[in-house]
Structure 1
Amino acid sequence: MSFKDIIKNDIQSIFFNPDEFGEEHVVDGKRMMIIIDNNEQIKREKRYHSMGEGLYLKQVLFYVSEAIFGELPKIGRQLILDEKSYIITDAINEDGIFSISLEAVNS
């Protein structure tokens, strides 16, 4: 077994395991294990940006297995996470794990 094969196996058995890092969420109507990374998002930018008049911009960063999610989503399209609508602002394939950034205007 090659190192890359071991990593692919670890993606499901360790990283997205609910006993380790994975959490079940509903993404576009499908239940799947993802990892919401609040710490990394805060490093990239603050999670909430005031837009005045009681509005703010909420940002979410999550990781999901390519094998579970399917095709890498296009930036600018709508994504529903746990019944809340977001716009995809960034989507990167990091060797079989998608890093997907979302944002939404809330009140």
Structure 2
Amino acid sequence: MVRKSFKEIVNQDIDNIFINTSEFSDIHNVDGRNMPIQIDDNEVIEREKKAKSNMDGVYVKQKLIYVKAKDFGPLPAIGRQIMLDGKRYLVVDSTDEYGLYTITLEGNRSK
């Protein structure tokens, strides 16, 4: 029996569980391409409680998404604009965790 490395097990879990549309993820449109992503709604709720107001009637909306590196492409640079489900966001943070990107998006929205 061949033992799998930790990285191999993590990649298998990313594909089979975490970014699986039958389990945790849904299909979303990112920059004109449909792909499975996980939106961390709990983190979004916490961040919205602390929503930064830029001016009367405008606030900053944040989203934390997880997406497979092989689906998304190169890790997006901070400051890059991304269209998520038809809405424009700015990348404020992005990390690659063993082939799974964690991307924090921010966009101005009106109340």
For residue 105 of structure 1, report the CA deviation from its aligned partner: 0.8
Quote the Cα distance in structure 1 between the aligned partners of 2:50 and 2:89.
14
Residues 13 and 26 of structure 1, relative CA distance in 2, 3 Å threshold: same
Residue 67 of structure 2 aligns with which residue? 64
- Which residue of the other structure, out of 79, 82, 89, is the alignment partner of 1:79? 82
* TM-score normalised to structure 1 length: 0.89
For residue 10 of structure 1, report the CA deviation from its aligned partner: 1.6
Q: Structure 2: which amino acid aligns with 1:94? A: E
Pairwise CA RMSD: 1.7
Q: Structure 1: which amino acid aligns with 2:7? A: K
* TM-score normalised to structure 2 length: 0.86
Residues 47 and 11 of structure 1, relative CA distance in 2, 3 Å threshold: farther
Deviations 1:4-58 (A, max 9, x none): 2122122111111111101110001100000000223445674632223211111
Contact 2:59 2:109 in 1 (8 A): yes
Residue 27 of structure 2 aligns with which residue? 24
Structure showing greater radius of gyration is 2
* Unaligned stretches of 5+ residues in structure 2: none
Contact 2:38 2:66 in 1 (8 A): yes
* Unaligned stretches of 5+ residues in structure 1: none
The percentage of counterpart residues that share the same residue type is 49
Deviations 1:57-94 (A, max 9, x none): 11111000111111100100100000000110000011
SS, match of residue 12 in structure 1: helix
Contact 2:48 2:61 in 1 (8 A): no
- Which residue of the other structure, out of 33, 36, 40, is the alignment partner of 1:37? 40
Quote the Cα distance in structure 1 between the aligned partners of 2:102 and 2:45.
15
